[in-house]
Amino acid sequence: MPQKNIHGYVVNYKNNALKGAEHLAYILSFDEAFSLFQAAQMSGEVKFEDRVGRNFTLKRETIGTFSLEKRKGW
């Protein structure tokens, strides 16, 4: 499973979630991405979509480590 460091957080993702990882890393501002990581850290997971409507789920694995999955839909 590929891994990417996004704003200091380790994110493990499957190849079908690459666009979600790129969205977190390069499209969202630091504050926008940080709020998603904090929400996932507190609640276990957070759902979001990128600007073209692809659906993803960011899940907490351990402190500072997350997994990113593409959800069904576009």
Residue 67 has pLDDT above 70, yes or no: yes
Q: Which residue has the higher pLDDT, 29 or 1?
A: 29
Please name every residue paired with 6 in a beta bridge, in sequence order, or none if there are none: 9
pTM here is 0.93
Q: What is the pLDDT of the chain when averaged over all its residues? A: 95
Average pLDDT over every residue of 1-12: 96
Task: Work out the burial of residue 36: count CB atoms within 10 Å of its CB; fewer than 13 is exposed, 13-18 middle, 19 or more buried.
Answer: buried
Residue 33 has pLDDT above 70, yes or no: yes
pLDDT score of 72: 85
Q: Which tokens belong to 63?
A: 């402190």
Residue 22 has pLDDT above 90, yes or no: yes
Q: Which amino acid is at 58?
A: L
